[in-house]
Amino acid sequence: MSDSFLYHVTYYHHLPAIEEEGLVAAASAGIGGAGYDKSQGVFLTESEGVPFWYMRAEEWAQHRSDDLLEDELAPVVLRVPDDGVLHQDAPGTRDAGASAWVSEEIPPEDIEVWDGEEWVALEDFDVPVDEAFETDEYEGDSWSVLLDDFENPFYPPDEAYE
C-alpha cells in the first residue's frame, strides 16, 4: 500500500460486492445525488472530506430506508492508495470543502476498511453491522438509529488518518 491515501464512503451492505469486484464506476446508487456522474469513475476524497461525505451518507440512508439496521445502511470508510487518480472532482471538492478526486476502478486488494480500531483489508473485516446502531424499544416496537460519529466504530477518529 501507498503511504498516501484517499478515502471513499460507502454502505456496509456494499462491502461483499466491493470485496469481490473492488470499487467500480457506477456500481450502485451513490450518495452524491444528481450532480455526480457516477460513470466517470470512483469518487474519492482527502481525509478532510470524510466527515462531509460520512454525514451525507447518513442523511441518504435515513431518506432511503425505514430500517437502517435491516438494510445494512451503516456508512463505512474505505481507504485506497492515491495512485490511479484521473482528475479532480470539482463538484465534490466544492461540496465537501476538501479536495475530491475521481479515480479508475480500484481492485479489492488495494482497499482497506476502518474496523473501529485500525485499517484492515476487506477480507479481514469482520465487524457486525449492528455495532453501528443503537436499538431501543418504543411502544412494543424496536427501532435502530445510527450511533453518532464519535461512537460509531465505522467512523475513523482523526488519528486514523496519520
Output the pLDDT for position 137.
Answer: 60
Please write the tens of the pLDDT for every residue from 50-83.
Answer: 999 999 998 888 888 888 888 999 999 999 998 8
pLDDT band at 122 (very low <50, low <70, confident <90, very high): very high
pLDDT of residue 1: 40
**Is residue 27 predicted with pLDDT exceeding 60?**
no
Confidence class of residue 152 from pLDDT cuts 50, 70 and 90? confident
**pTM recorded for the entire structure:** 0.86
pLDDT of 5 higher than 90: yes
CATH of 5-152, one of 3.30.160.100, 3.20.170.30, 3.30.70.580, 3.90.180.10: 3.20.170.30
**Averaged pLDDT, 7-16:** 95
Residue 33's pLDDT band, with cuts at 50, 70 and 90, is: low
pLDDT of 129 above 60:
yes
How far apart are the C-alpha atoms of 109 and 114, rounded to whole Å?
15
Percent of the chain with pLDDT over 90: 49
Per-residue confidence (pLDDT) for residue 140, from 0 to 100: 54
Residue 67 has a CB neighbour count (10 Å cut-off) of 11
Average pLDDT score over the chain: 84
For the chain, the C-alpha Rg in angstroms (whole number) is: 15
CA 101 to chain centre: 15
Q: HSE of 101 in the Cβ direction (CA atoms, 13 Å)?
A: 21
Check pLDDT > 50 for residue 2.
Answer: no
